[in-house]
């Protein structure tokens, strides 16, 4: 990674009359809820030059000056005729304003929701806007007759993909991306990108699985040889596999037994970001998330989502001491159903007051609903720690629903096979992990040495564990190995339920390892590890990590071993 140039804009031809402008940040940027990654990112913009010139998705304000300079170098004295917007983001307004000042006759090409947002963002300007509803085309000349395809979702109701039949390039906006910064422009190393592409999907797409499937259906009729993505390397080599993966991941998410309706509205994007983080936790724990942006949904859609779900969560900003009108509509829909068997939750962001949360919570309690968590109130922009708390909140919500369903089902005795699997034993260990300001840990008895050279281990972690999202490639953690005689206290402690964001290590004496993670002073030994690979295995992730450092603290101690009665429980 080239840390000597933390930000730059690279422009490279990708096809006839077509260029990419890659605004690159080599240092960590948090996009949406991806607080566990630290690989930088590229924000990709594109130029198509026929007889007229179109720019697709200009860069955000953090790159405005260097982006516009790169654009001038590409175009010389030529003027931009069209700006095509794959989605609307307030952080791009500074760049759009500069483009408008330089070329007041620019025509914006976008979806109807995006047109509404643009008009509100520039009330003093008489904008030229060409609204695309799916059948219209944009002829730039020289054979570049672009087709713009709306791909709306709750998070990006203004989503729009653009297809150029001349080059067979699909400009995908938010679809198929990855937050990675590297010198490679294309996905030649597509196999090594799979983890980042999956993480991007889980964070940003999984909660909109039905909408992703609808978008894939729309795009399936196109003859595409390249995905010109909004973030990360352009997809050419792994195009078919990534497309198939998106369909597989989306169908798997949409077909889960437990479902949660997530209804929200957002004034400045903060509540939407909280919703995305909660959805990430819901998805991790195995729920099908029915995400509803109440600003763009009809009451019938809200009603169907809540009726078909096992629980629902409502998120709202506070504007002028009140919830916005779409949230009042959603609350009215929920109260009219009067199905008090459904678990509920409330969250949101605010600036100076938080009356909206009290109103929603009060109405739900009056109606007899049980809340699955204490109402989450976040002031201004959420921090990494808050977003991790949201993830855990979503996970806990699903675990509560699962426990309720197990109570209703008769418990079966363990089969001989399950009893036999339970005889596999493992050492009792405590994992501690840290990423920035976020830290957490868990007990694990599913640990094994995997390699001699380099020294390496494998660890299996359930998908719904809080520590899982901190264990991606290059992540560091400490494996604390507990001695016989002192392990029971730790088993009891780490088996209990923790509140979202609760410090797992508060009751114990700890010190800090060289890699920044916690070492339990009661450990008989500890290993400092770095994740090399992760593999999805049913309801767990299996991590292979190399051991960079370690220490034997008690040479004569006997390692504690965990015995189970069945292979279906820890």
pLDDT tens across 446-479, in order? 999 999 999 999 999 999 999 998 998 889 999 9
Contact yes or no for 111/129 (Cβ under 8 A): no
What are the tens digits of pLDDT across the range 150-206?
999 998 999 999 999 999 999 999 999 998 888 888 999 888 899 999 989 998 899
What are the tens digits of pLDDT across the range 400-456?
999 887 655 566 788 989 899 988 999 999 999 998 888 999 999 999 999 999 999
What are the tens digits of pLDDT across the range 20-60?
999 988 776 555 555 456 677 889 999 999 999 999 999 99
Give the domains, in start order, of the chain with CATH numbers: 7-252 (3.60.15.10), 256-404 (3.40.50.360), 421-562 (2.30.110.10)
Per-residue pLDDT, 27: 72
**Is the pLDDT reported for residue 5 higher than 80?**
no
Sign of the torsion formed by the C-alpha atoms of 506, 510, 514 and 515: negative
Contact yes or no for 154/87 (Cβ under 8 A): no
Specify the 3-state DSSP secondary structure of 306.
helix
Residues of the chain above pLDDT 90, percent = 73
How many C-beta atoms surround the C-beta of residue 421 within 10 A? 14
Instruction: Give the Cα separation of 356 and 15 in Å (integer).
Output: 51
Q: Is residue 307 left, alpha or beta, with left meaning phi > 0 and alpha meaning psi from -120 to 50?
A: alpha
DSSP string, 451-468: ETTTTEEEEEEETT-GGG
Q: Classify residue 132 by burial, with Cβ atoms within 10 Å: 0-12, 13-18, 19+.
A: buried
pTM, 2 dp: 0.85
SS3 content of the chain, % helix, strand, coil (to 5): 30, 30, 40
Contact yes or no for 397/500 (Cβ under 8 A): no
How large is the greatest C-alpha to C-alpha distance in the chain, in angstroms? Answer: 80
Q: What is the mean pLDDT of residues 213-236?
A: 96
449 forms beta bridges with: 457
Q: How far is CA 209 from CA 135, 272, 290, 416, 474, in A?
A: 24, 17, 8, 38, 28
Element containing residue 384 per DSSP (H, E): helix 384-408
């Amino acid at each position: 990674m080239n840390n000597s140039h933390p930000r730059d804009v690279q422009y490279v031809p990708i096809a006839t009359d077509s260029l990419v402008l890659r605004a690159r940040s080599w240092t960590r940027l948090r996009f949406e809820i991806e607080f566990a990654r630290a690989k930088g990112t590229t924000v990709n913009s594109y130029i198509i030059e026929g007889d007229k010139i179109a720019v697709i998705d200009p860069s955000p304000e953090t790159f405005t000056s260097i982006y516009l300079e790169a654009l001038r170098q590409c175009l010389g004295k030529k003027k931009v005729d069209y700006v095509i917007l794959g989605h609307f983001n307030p952080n791009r307004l500074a760049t759009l304003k500069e483009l408008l000042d330089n070329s007041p006759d620019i025509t914006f090409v976008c979806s109807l929701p995006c047109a509404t947002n643009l008009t509100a963002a520039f009330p003093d300007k008489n904008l030229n806007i060409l609204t695309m509803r799916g059948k219209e085309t944009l002829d730039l000349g020289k054979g570049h007759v672009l087709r713009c395809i709306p791909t709306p979702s709750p998070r990006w109701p203004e989503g729009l993909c653009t297809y150029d039949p001349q080059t067979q390039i699909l400009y995908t906006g938010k679809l198929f991306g990855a937050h990675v910064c590297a010198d490679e422009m294309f996905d030649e190393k597509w196999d090594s990108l799979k983890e980042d592409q999956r993480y991007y999907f889980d964070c940003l797409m999984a909660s909109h699985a039905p909408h992703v499937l609808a978008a894939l259906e729309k795009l399936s009729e196109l003859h595409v040889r390249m995905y010109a993505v909004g973030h990360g390397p352009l997809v050419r080599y792994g195009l078919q596999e990534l497309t198939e993966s998106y369909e597989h991941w989306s169908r798997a998410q949409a077909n889960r037994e437990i479902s949660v309706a997530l209804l929200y509205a957002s004034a400045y994007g903060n509540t939407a970001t909280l919703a995305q983080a909660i959805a990430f936790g819901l998805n991790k724990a195995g729920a099908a998330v029915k995400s509803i942006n109440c600003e763009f949904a009809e009451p019938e859609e809200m009603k169907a989502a809540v009726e078909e779900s096992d629980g629902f969560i409502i998120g709202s900003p506070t504007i002028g001491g009140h919830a916005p009108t779409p949230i009042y509509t959603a609350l009215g829909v929920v109260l009219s159903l009067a199905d008090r068997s459904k678990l509920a939750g409330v969250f949101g962001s605010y600036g100076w007051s938080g009356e909206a949360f009290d109103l929603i919570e009060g109405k739900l309690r009056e109606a007899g609903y049980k809340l699955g968590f204490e109402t989450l109130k976040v002031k201004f922009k959420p921090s990494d720690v808050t977003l991790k708390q949201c993830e855990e909140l979503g996970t806990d919500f699903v675990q509560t629903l699962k426990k309720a369903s197990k109570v209703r089902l008769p418990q079966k005795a363990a089969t001989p096979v399950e009893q036999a699997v339970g005889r596999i034993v493992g050492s009792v260990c405590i994992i501690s992990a840290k990423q920035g300001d976020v830290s957490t840990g868990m007990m694990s008895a599913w640990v094994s040495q995997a390699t001699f050279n380099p020294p390496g281990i494998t660890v299996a972690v359930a998908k719904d564990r809080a520590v899982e999202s901190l264990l991606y490639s290059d992540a560091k953690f400490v494996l604390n190995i507990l001695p016989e005689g002192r392990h029971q206290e730790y088993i009891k402690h780490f088996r209990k339920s923790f509140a979202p964001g609760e410090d797992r290590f508060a009751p114990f004496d700890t010190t800090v390892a060289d890699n920044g993670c916690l070492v339990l002073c009661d450990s008989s030994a500890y290993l400092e590890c770095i994740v090399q690979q992760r593999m999805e295995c049913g309801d767990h992730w299996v991590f292979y990590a190399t051991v960079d450092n370690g220490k034997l603290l008690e040479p004569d101690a006997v390692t504690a071993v965990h015995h189970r009665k069945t292979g279906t429980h820890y």
